[in-house]
Chains A and B, each alone.
Chain A
Amino acid sequence: MRKQTALRVAALAPPVLLALIVLAGERNRGGDQSTRVEIGASARAIDGTSYSGPRLMLSGEVLESREVDEKRFSPGSDVVLRYRKSGGEWTFAGAQTGGHEWNEATLDIPARIKAAPYAGGVKAEPLVPREFAIPDSTVSRIRRGARVILALRRGALGDVWVESATQTGDALGVVAALLADPGGGPPIVLGRAETPLDPRNPASREASGWAARLVDGRIGAVTPLSGPPIDGVVLSDGRLLFAIGASRGFDLSVRDADLKAAGEVRHFDGILEALTAEGSLWIREGGPGPGRGVKLVRRDLSGAATAEVALNDTKALLGIRGEAAAFADSSLLVRYRLDGKAPSETDRWTLDEIRSGCLLSADAIAVAARKGVLLLTAGVKEPTILLEPGAFPSTGDLFADRVGNLLFVTGVAGTAPRQAAGAHRERLFFRPAGGTFLGLPEVPAVEEVVPAASASGGNPQPSRRRFVVWNGTLFDASHGQMAVFDLAGRKLITRILERAGGRPERIF
């Protein structure tokens, strides 16, 4: 009999334990007197399987783990990560033991120190929710890279909880081109419309686009485009030329200064490699397939071929300017002239650890390699060092615009890579055409959410950085954000993360 009673007590104890969790949870929320604080995050993925149900994964500045000094903090110990609000955004101010600040200006997020056996060192893992079980009906509404505002409360028991999550209006998304206004006005932005985040949704494969001007440091009224933009250029006659991805190849659309159509849309097959202000374009055509060699073809806007060059170099194409093209692998950079049936090699440089490069003009190539950022000039064997390796935190990527301005982007040591969840920060160096590099302040980056598929007709996703300089201001568009810098003051003015239109939607 005693055994029977013991069994009854033991069997009914689990629901009692569960009731204790409910009581503690209700106490944590019901007795919470803390300030409601809003933080920004981005929708990283819809995770989960048919076994676990859909889960929304978020990432953001306040949600990321932080590398901390292993001499100060031991694995297993509890700390707080302090954030301070500056310029409307939360900025990490350091890890410390103890701290209960929770207000509109300062946040102490509880965290736990964990050892990182592979990477070495220790990191502080914030004890805040980052994954949320959501209903299927909500999943279909969440857009790729959507900006999500989380309302956080500290909790009466010290467990931070999320009061609400709201998807903001349309996020900036991927910027395909940043064009200087031929009339001298603010720059024009070509962007891709966001698609659903849920990979099971067929619409997540169909991207369309938009074009807009920047007005007062914000994205102005949007003009819809028929498909996802790939690139754009301001023609020498002041009109605009937009390359828009199609199911195969791409379309070219000529627009006037008001972004309205100014001519018929012409379709091209192949992969767009370069657009010129003179109205010609280089297209990679042919291949793969037996007997189909790859070739670079220059066509005018009517579609007529004006040059055709067989392409045998398997190295990466850095760019094409005029009739000059440059190809590189990790140690060799070759410049060709594209003026015959086969490219004719004009220059060859052997360098250590080539990371990236771009053409500043037909005769000048910028390269990031082991010896720093180098300038290679046609006919000159020795490179010129533009930036010594000690002047920047780590090697990075180089981007040039059509007038020869150069942007060097490096990751900041100790932050996560862009493609991974983590607090990624970048440092930019800008070199005006013919000038010297200016160091710009660090800027937090939005995690890159790689689209599952593209509707660009095989054209590469415009993941490259786009930038433009206007009135002493640098507009730098990377994935999901546009950083605006004052070049004279060398300071970050703002980050543009959203565009006009679109209503906020409550996720939960």
Chain B
Amino acid sequence: MSDIRQVLEAHVRDWSRAGLLDDAQRDRILADLAITYGPARAREDDTKSRFSAGVWILLSLGTAAMAAALAVWFAREWGDWGRWTRVLLSLGIPAALALVGLFFLQSGRRRFPALGRVFLTLTAIATLSATQLLLEAYDFHPRHAILSFVEAGLFGVMAFLADSALLLWAAVITLSVAFGFEVYAGWGWTWIAIERPLPFVGLGLVIILGGLLAGRLSRRLAGHLLAAGTLIAELALYALSLKAFDFHQPRPTGTVLGAWLVLFTPFLLALALLAVAARRRRGEDSFARAAVIPLYSMLLLVALSSLWPGRFYERSWVDTVLFTLVTIAGALFGVHIGSAAVINVSVVFFAIDVFSRFSEWFWEEMPAVYFFGLMGLLLISGGIALERVRRRLIRRIGEGA
């Protein structure tokens, strides 16, 4: 029996006991639920889902390949184009792609709206390529990534209007790169070395809360936002917990206001979004409880890192503990808001955390056979424990109802 059917049946019986439904109504609803969520429907859904997943994978891979081809073509041929050819193609190609995308998405001609989404995603990629090359061709040296932030917002809006997950990921990646540029400009960190990727924790948090708020517009796209936000935040926290990135350098003195804004704005924005989300979900105590745990952990991390310049670039046990706490809190948060993406990303990072700590502490202390065996047992036990927690939570929701 599916988890949804179990929960719904528990609700129906509860309403029947409370006198809201008579026995006939209760039996009819239970029979409907048995048909809707029964084995036959489940098999049909499964088949549908498998086919649509196949189409989605093909279209997504095709779009990614076309996007790569477009970006490479722009970059490869740019040197050979004259000034006005560059301008014409930079403006003309995104415009043409957008028009084709709109054509396929228009009502009345919705024979293949997925193709419309493909063309809109290509519009975004062509715009990003043309932006970079035009800025370079005009010898502009952007001091801030304002244009990229605008483009990321625009792509996000387009993604929700066209219901395109791929376009949404393009928006999230553009936003992350633009934010990375600001971080680099303000703090001098390099994108690869990620000496102190604290601001990215805030960025991930903003995207998570954005996903929560966007749930009303599209549950599917909100799920992607939640996954992207969790990925960014936990990746940044993981980098924080790694000893390999410990450079033992103090925080630069005389940091300008812009750099502090880059560090704190995402956290302040996340707080504001949390307040909005909490207001909308007033009465849902579990949401507030679940959301504040990871948030408090992350804010604690910010406070420690910014107020203690001596360990600005250093790694300590505080980061390690906080990362572990956040992965657990993230998984619980995912269970409470019903997001499989958040749960899965958090569980993966929890496993990576276990692997990293285990390697740090025991690699040199025990033979490889015991090392891998013990780690395997630990991870499998973690998987079993998590599955039990999941089942208990489902049961509790059912019993509570």
Contact = CB atoms under 8 A, between A and B. Distances in A.
A71 B76 contact: no
Contact of A162 (B105, B131, B139, B162): B139
Contact of A10 (B106, B157, B186, B195): B157
A21 B161 contact: no
B80 A11 contact: no
A54 B79 CA distance: 7
Interface string B125-137: 0110011011111
A457 interface: no
B94 interface: yes
A53 B76 contact: yes
B280 interface: no
A76 B187 contact: yes
B206 interface: no
Interface string B61-75: 000000000001001
B138 A161 contact: yes
Which secondary structure dominates where chain A touches chain B? Answer: mixed
Contacts of B386: none
Contacts of A131: 136
A127 to B, nearest CB: 4
Given A14-B94, A75-B252, A53 B77 contact: yes
A140 B126 CA distance: 29
Interface stretch (B41-49, B140-148, B318-326): B140-148
A22 B259 contact: no
B134 A21 contact: yes
A52 interface: yes
A117 interface: yes
A259 B399 CA distance: 103
Nearest to A129: B139
A262 interface: no
Contacts of B255: 74-76
Interface in A133-155: 133-136, 138, 155
A53 B79 contact: yes
Interface in A1-32: 3-4, 6-8, 10-15, 17-19, 21-22, 24-26, 28-29
A78 interface: yes
A14 B258 CA distance: 27
B378 interface: no
A7 B161 contact: yes
B249 A117 contact: yes
Contacts of B247: 117-118
Most buried by A among B120, B161, B185, B189: B161
A23 to B, nearest CB: 10
Given A53-B75, A53-B76, A77 B102 contact: no
B147 A17 contact: yes
Contact of B102 (A7, A51, A53, A136): A7
Interface string B92-103: 101100110110
A309 interface: no
A116 interface: yes
A115 B252 contact: yes
Given A10-B157, A21-B138, A115-B252, A15 B187 contact: no
A114 interface: yes
Nearest to B150: A17
A22 B135 CA distance: 9
Nearest to A15: B95
A506 to B, nearest CB: 14
B154 A22 contact: no
Given A7-B102, A112-B143, A133-B136, A19 B91 contact: yes
Contact of B123 (A14, A22, A55): A14
A57 interface: no
B193 A117 contact: yes
A28 B158 contact: no
Given A24-B138, A25-B137, A70 B254 contact: yes
Contacts of A160: 139
A15 B98 contact: yes
Contacts of B98: 11-12, 14-15
A80 B253 CA distance: 20
A120 interface: yes
A116 B249 CA distance: 11
B313 A117 contact: yes
B90 interface: yes
A67 to B, nearest CB: 13
Interface in A148-192: 155, 159-162
A14 B292 CA distance: 37
Interface string A116-128: 1110101000011
Contacts of B124: 14
A63 to B, nearest CB: 12
Contacts of A120: 249
Contacts of B107: 4
A32 B213 CA distance: 47
B161 A18 contact: no
A17 B249 CA distance: 41
B139 A77 contact: no
A14 B127 CA distance: 6
Nearest to A56: B79
B79 A76 contact: no
A50 interface: yes
A447 to B, nearest CB: 22
A14 B96 CA distance: 11
A16 to B, nearest CB: 9
B123 to A, nearest CB: 6
Query: Which of B127, B186, B249, B254 is most buried by chain A, counting CB atoms within 10 A of its CB?
Result: B254
B130 to A, nearest CB: 5
Contacts of A129: 136, 139, 141
A24 B140 contact: yes
B359 interface: no
B376 interface: no
B190 interface: yes
A77 B91 contact: no
Interface of B: 72, 75-80, 87, 90-92, 94-95, 98-99, 101-102, 105-107, 120, 123-124, 126-127, 130-131, 133-141, 143, 147, 150-151, 154, 157-158, 161-162, 184-190, 193, 195, 247, 249, 252-256, 258-259, 313
Interface of A: 3-4, 6-8, 10-15, 17-19, 21-22, 24-26, 28-29, 50-55, 70-71, 73-78, 110, 112, 114-118, 120, 122, 127-129, 131, 133-136, 138, 155, 159-162
CB-based closest 6 A-B pairs: A115-B188, A25-B138, A161-B139, A127-B141, A74-B254, A133-B79
14 contacts: A8-B102, A10-B154, A17-B151, A21-B147, A25-B134, A51-B72, A52-B76, A53-B79, A75-B256, A78-B143, A118-B247, A128-B139, A136-B79, A136-B80
Given A14-B94, A22-B90, A117-B193, 18 more contacts: A10-B161, A14-B151, A15-B91, A18-B94, A18-B131, A21-B138, A25-B138, A25-B140, A51-B72, A52-B72, A53-B79, A54-B79, A74-B252, A74-B259, A76-B185, A77-B256, A118-B193, A128-B139
